[in-house]
Amino acid sequence: MSEPAAPTGHQVIRRYLRTLGTAPGVYRMLAANGSVLYVGKARNLKKRVASYAKPTGHSPRIARMISQTASMMFLTTETEAEALLLEQNLIKQLKPKYNVQLRDDKSFPNILVSKEHRYPQIRKHRGARREKGTYYGPFASAGAVNRTLNQLQKVFLLRNCSDATLEGRTRPCLLHQIKRCSAPCVGKITAQEYGALVADAERFLQGRTTRIQTELARQMQQASEALEFERAAALRDRISALTQVQQSQGINPRGVREADVIALHMEGGQACVQVFFIRAHQNWGNRDYYPRTGSGAEAPEVLQGFVAQFYGRHVPPRAVLLSHQVEDPDLLQDVLSARAGHRVALLVPQRGEKAELVAGAARNARESLGRRIAETATQQRLLEGLGRAFALDRPPRRIEVYDNSHIQGAHAVGAMIVAGPEGFLKSQYRKFNIRGDDLTPGDDFAMMKEVLRRRFRRLLKEDPDRRGDTWPDLLLIDGGAGQVSAVVGILDETGISDIPVIGVAKGEDRDAGKEEFHRPGARPFALRRNDPVLYFVQRLRDEAHRFAIGTHRARRSKAIGATPLDEVPGVGAARKRALLSHFGSAKAVAGARLADLKSVPGISARMAETIHAHFHDKG
């Protein structure tokens, strides 16, 4: 006899009320198999759980969630704000079915005005803010940063080359010739004059452009009166460039200095959130997100979940303009203010310029979601066609495509891309540095085996019961019967026998359109040249190849730029730069005396001893 199913539903939930207190905290609702259905926070745990114990009065979504609940877990906190933060951490970690989830949360780029050199460099920066300097951002994309940097070069003639390039030049580069740089590398400008340009650039990034234009006009008039026509013409060009920047930024709000504009549009069970970044009265771009809606959450809950998770990684500005009211505005505002270190206002504007900004973001969200729904429908048809062509039990929801890249075995890498109903899932891409010491250089079979072995051992470790969405429904391998046989052997070795494997091999002429497909234990077959499924598979294979080539080139470039100094404990970029500037090469550093190392600016006596010991105390 089979064991009776574990009880579920509101009666199970009611049992917990006898032991629950009234403290704030976080609760988890679990299914019979132990998977987490929902994570929630409460000001009063007993009161919140009691609301789930009622047999009626729930929305269809909540009723489904309650009917699947077999057990619950609880964590108490000191305050409701702590409960909100813990809730968002658990949602990100556990990815429950019924919670709103932010799926794409990459860091945003900034502009860094570095202050470690007498001629400060201005460049794009992403990641932790460890370097000394002033940071401006966030910008929505690398493209938005690059456009702004291009404008700054035209108007303020600041360098974007590295310190090493600056120190090594003996004549101006092309950027100086096309009037994009003031050439501090060869003394075309003094440090004081360059510092004035940097100050003007920072005023521009702070939105104070009127003063800059007035000052440039005054300087141009003085140069003209002094008959310095070449200098006057250069200043005229800079004023013209600044005017073009201001004209191209006609959408910039005059009444909003610093804010994020967040608008939500929901349709057909899907959601799109548009985020616009307003800094220094300038629109620094936008990005769209498609959060999971927790199987049917309403707009206030979706927006609350999005905002809480979004600002878990990003520092909020002084104002956040929303298209809808969130569930707990006061609590969320307090949490964001604590995160930012200053008061953050959550606003749902109804009129004026702020309302117009929100309306524009909402329009973009609606249009973006419409395009995504259309693309998803097309993608679903392709997946269904792929399932039929490869005789799969059902259309795949997660396809993993593997490829290798190397040059005669050197700097070998493996690459994995992922595709599904929503297209390419770039946040799921993975790269593998091939590190098998016993591999024959250029042995593609052995490389593929290493990649697949590492991939599935990790999957078995992280999700042995396949509760998550990281297990593939189909593996596409770049290669023929040999590669397929190697992959099947690795899967058998790890006890996996239910994942289909297809090899994609070029035909006799290695011509796109003549691909042959290989399945374990079956004859190769081909698709019609005009079959949409064939084009789809070609796109998947080409994307894997592109990613593998890019990963290989990055590894090769890193290896080319490596020096023995990289292996010295405590020697980072700044000390490495100081040593190379002083001695000229890593080889000279390795052969230097201890006294010479101690004389290098920025190298302490203890660090000099560490460097000397690294190269000389080899046992």
pLDDT digits (tens, 9 = 90+) for 510-536: 455 678 899 988 888 888 888 889 989
Q: How many residues does the chain have?
A: 619
Answer with the residue of higher pLDDT: 187 or 567.
187
Return d(Cα 432, Cα 418) in angstroms, integer: 14
Q: Would you call the peptide bond into 569 cis, given omega within 30 degrees of 0 as the criterion?
A: no
Q: 274 forms bridges with which residues in the sheet?
A: 263, 288
Q: Which residues contact 458 (CB under 8 A, 6 or more apart)?
A: none
The predicted-structure confidence for 462-486, as pLDDT tens digits, reads as follows: 888 887 788 999 999 988 888 888 8
Q: Cβ distance 337 to 260 under 8 Å?
A: no
Q: Which CATH superfamily is domain 399-559 in?
A: UvrC, RNAse H endonuclease domain (3.30.420.340)
Return d(Cα 405, Cα 415) in angstroms, integer: 8
**Lowest model confidence (mean pLDDT) among 131-145, 228-242, 459-473:** 228-242
pTM over 0.85: no
Mean pLDDT of the chain: 84
The predicted-structure confidence for 252-288, as pLDDT tens digits, reads as follows: 677 888 899 999 999 888 899 999 988 878 788 888 8
- Residue 320, classed as helix, strand or coil, is strand
Specify the CATH number for 10-98; select among 3.40.1440.10, 2.60.40.420, 3.30.710.10, 1.50.10.10.
Answer: 3.40.1440.10
Q: Cβ distance 284 to 144 under 8 Å?
A: yes
Percent of the chain predicted with pLDDT > 70: 89
Q: Cβ distance 276 to 368 under 8 Å?
A: no
pLDDT, average across residues 564-587: 78
- Tell me, rounded to whole angstroms, the distance of Cα 367 from its chain centroid: 23
Delimit the CATH 1.10.150.20 region(s) of the chain. Answer: 564-616
Q: Cβ distance 9 to 66 under 8 Å?
A: yes
Delimit the CATH 3.40.1440.10 region(s) of the chain. Answer: 10-98
Q: Cβ distance 221 to 235 under 8 Å?
A: no
In order of 38, 74, 79, 168, the CA distances from 45 in angstroms are: 15, 8, 12, 65
The string of DSSP letters for 219-245 reads HHHHHHHTT-HHHHHHHHHHHHHHHHH
pLDDT at 249: 45
Q: Which CATH number is associated with domain 564-616?
A: 1.10.150.20
Return d(Cα 333, Cα 338) in angstroms, integer: 9
The predicted-structure confidence for 396-426, as pLDDT tens digits, reads as follows: 999 999 988 866 556 688 889 999 988 898 8
Return d(Cα 189, Cα 198) in angstroms, integer: 12
Q: Which CATH superfamily is domain 258-370 in?
A: UvrC, RNAse H endonuclease domain (3.30.420.340)
Delimit the CATH 3.30.420.340 region(s) of the chain. Answer: 258-370, 399-559
pLDDT at 247: 45
What b/e string do you get for 203-237 counting C-beta neighbours within 10 Å, with b at 16 or more?
bbbebebeebbeebeebbeebeeeeeeeebebbbe
Q: CB pairs under 8 A, 24+ apart, for 500-506? A: 500/390, 500/392, 500/473, 500/474, 500/475, 501/475, 501/477, 502/390, 502/474, 502/475, 502/476, 502/477, 503/476, 503/477, 503/478, 503/479, 504/476, 504/477, 504/478, 504/479, 504/537, 504/541, 505/479, 505/480
In terms of Cβ atoms closer than 10 Å to its own Cβ (0-12, 13-18, 19+), residue 334 is: middle
